[in-house]
Amino acid sequence: MFPLLFLITIGAAAASPSPSPLPEIAHVFTSDRTDETLNNAARTTYIVTRAEIARHGYRTVGEALEGLPAFEYSPYGPIGSSAQYGVRGTNSAQVLVLVDGLPAPGSFANSVELGTMSTTGVERIELVEGGGSTLYGTGAIGGIVNVITNRKAATGATLRAGSLDDTSFELRSPSVQFSRIVARNDFKLTDGSARPDSDYQISALHANAGTRVGSFDAVLRAGISSDRGGAPGPLEFTSPTSRQTDLNADANVTLTHRTRQAEFTVQLGGTRQQITFECNAVTDSNCFQTAQSLDTESRLDFDARNVVSGENEQLLYGIDLARGTVRGDAGGLFSTNSLAQAAAYVQQKFTTRWGNAYAGLRGERDGALGGEFSPSAGFVLRLSHASALKGNVATAFRAPNASELYFPFFGNPALKPERARVADLTMVDSAVLGGVSIGWFGDRTNNLIVTTLIDPVNFIFAPENIGHALIEGLTLDARTLPSHGFTASFNITDLYRAQNLDTQSRLPDDPVFTANLGLDYAGGGLVEAAGASVHSAGPHGAGAFTRADAYLSLRAAPNVLLTLRAYNFGNARYEAVSGFPMPGRTFAFELSTR
């Protein structure tokens, strides 16, 4: 399948003209914790814009990231399900998820759910791949996902109805955005039986405001989402009564003072997460919990940083402080634990006619878990007006999270922090097709934390450290320039090594190959936009699979679009996670205004 995808992409690219490349104008924030052009960022960075979210109908952050190179995303079912995710072969605990630069709800307990995190109120999503501990601290071994929210959204609305009784609507104004999704998700399995207890509903609200306070620009934003759904578990242990309810809330204020050569920023934020789980042990033989459980996390973050820019250099320095409480209550057996982080960091960047280079260092203390110094360095070497070689090396780390340490019946307080050495090297050329990049990455981790079945009789798992793990891979990302409204894109990740060096076995749930092929059309008449995409992954624990999606947007009125979306139109019956089947072919109709 992968050679076929490659040939299709080359054929599409050959049909497109190759004029001089357009100037690089995209700006990113996350890579160096300050505004810069994507062209000058040494760390590999990808962007999903608000326009792409709307065009493709992404309703969760996980859906929006799935097609990016080296991003692994494996949902446990249709919308509303939890999902496994990672970057460059790492797991979710090794990927730091931020909202407007501050940790998302659930960061202390590794319970950030990209599979249910709404795109309502989102302006763009930035994915930085590779170790980010120097600037962001623990949990950024594989990379960083920064969900950047709207500062001033366009007024509009979207209504949607689809297969599996999936309905939703979104209302948008410059300062407030609201959405609601209700889906029964009662799809049929390959043997004709129904998949029970898969229903889902969520309400999400985002609000933002900006003002001037003295010499500071102030931005206030807040978001809250509440969702509830079934949690049927794997096929062999299907539970028809398991239910989970989540509440995620966050708010922050950002104050920025700008002068000709410096930008001083202060951020203060707070998050709250509450997860309730229950099932009926009397009527449900697969109910593994006799009483309701309640897990909560509260967190406060403070960040102060200053960026001083000279003619050919830039100095970034700052501090991060965090305090929080995580409580797990599994039917009366509970634990309450306080966690803290304190860090200072500095990064110096130099610019020459040949490119730029940076070096940085962070010192962080994570309470009783100890401290860590995390250095990093990187460069952008200009080879021509359109091509460059980018490289990074870093020491990254991850302190065990609260769930791994203290969760009732699961935690292991003897866990040691993970320590990793990461590196990458990427060649980029904007003059080939519409832009091509080829890269290598590597990650050697000591004390990697994995979940192990320690009691097969009672089906009990626990986290444990393994001594050494090695991950290496290659990525190819290519796209064409627009030709008659059409643009093709293709990326492939070859994770050729993901090894537990202690046992010489492959790490679980890491597909050897992932590939994404896209073809989009931007019109201007009756057909506003159209496109198709193919996503392939495997082999891995759940086997290999290929899924194809498509959309067609028609202009029904000057400011109204009617869109038909088809998901998995090849009707592939597959499992992204072993034991958790995905639905077959589904459709959705969408009416949107702008």
pLDDT by position in tens, the chain (length 594): 333 333 333 333 333 333 333 334 478 999 999 999 988 999 999 999 999 999 999 999 999 999 999 999 999 999 999 999 999 999 999 999 999 999 999 999 889 999 999 999 999 999 999 999 999 999 999 999 999 998 888 899 999 999 999 999 999 999 999 999 999 998 999 888 889 899 999 999 999 999 998 899 999 999 999 999 999 999 988 999 999 999 999 999 999 999 999 999 999 999 999 999 999 989 999 887 878 889 999 999 999 999 999 989 999 999 999 999 999 887 767 788 889 999 999 999 999 999 999 999 999 999 888 889 999 999 999 999 999 999 999 999 999 988 888 887 788 889 999 999 999 999 999 999 999 999 999 999 999 998 887 766 666 778 999 889 999 999 999 999 999 999 999 999 999 999 999 888 888 888 999 999 999 999 878 999 999 999 999 887 778 999 999 999 999 998 999 999 999 999 999 999 989 999 999 999 999 997
Beta-bridged to residue 169, according to DSSP, are 159, 180
List the structure tokens of 139.
Answer: 């949990």
Would you state the pLDDT for residue 139?
Answer: 93
List the structure tokens of 115.
Answer: 């599979």
The structural domain count of the chain equals 1
Residue with tokens 């020491």: 395
Neighbouring CB atoms inside 10 A of 287's CB total: 17
Contacts of 400 by beta carbon, 8 Å cutoff, 6+ apart: 369, 415, 416, 417, 449, 463
Go through the chain and tell me how many residues it has: 594
Would you state the pLDDT for residue 214?
Answer: 87
Q: Among 31, 33, 27, 29, which Cα is nearest to 320's?
A: 33
Distance CA 93, CA 100 (A): 19
Measured CA to CA in angstroms, residue 284 lies from 95, 176, 242, 459 at distances of 35, 42, 9, 17
Provide the strand spans (E) within 238-332: 243-258, 262-278, 293-309, 313-330
Q: For residue 121, what is the DSSP state? A: T
Residue with tokens 């309400």: 203
Neighbouring CB atoms inside 10 A of 22's CB total: 10
In single-letter form, the type of residue at position 236 comes to E
Distance CA 33, CA 295 (A): 32
Neighbouring CB atoms inside 10 A of 359's CB total: 15
Would you state the pLDDT for residue 5?
Answer: 34
Are 230 and 219 in contact, with CB atoms under 8 Å apart? no
Would you state the pLDDT for residue 12?
Answer: 36
Distance CA 399, CA 343 (A): 13
Are 486 and 11 in contact, with CB atoms under 8 Å apart? no
Neighbouring CB atoms inside 10 A of 294's CB total: 17
Are 461 and 452 in contact, with CB atoms under 8 Å apart? yes
- Domain hosting 283: range is 2-593
pTM of the model: 0.93
Provide the strand spans (E) within 353-459: 355-365, 371-382, 387-398, 418-429, 436-455
User: In this structure, is the dihedral angle defined by the CA atoms of residues 548, 114, 488 and 380, taken in order, positive or negative?
Assistant: negative
Helices (H), 145-207: none
Neighbouring CB atoms inside 10 A of 236's CB total: 7
Measured CA to CA in angstroms, residue 482 lies from 13, 324, 489 at distances of 10, 49, 11
Evaluate the omega torsion of the peptide bond into residue 456 and state whether it is cis, within 30 degrees of 0: no
Distance CA 396, CA 374 (A): 6
578 half-sphere exposure, CB direction, 13 A CA radius: 11
506 half-sphere exposure, CB direction, 13 A CA radius: 13
**Type and span of the H or E element at 13:** helix 2-14
- Report the CATH number at residue 407: 2.40.170.20
Q: Among 271, 295, 266, 268, which Cα is nearest to 223's?
A: 271
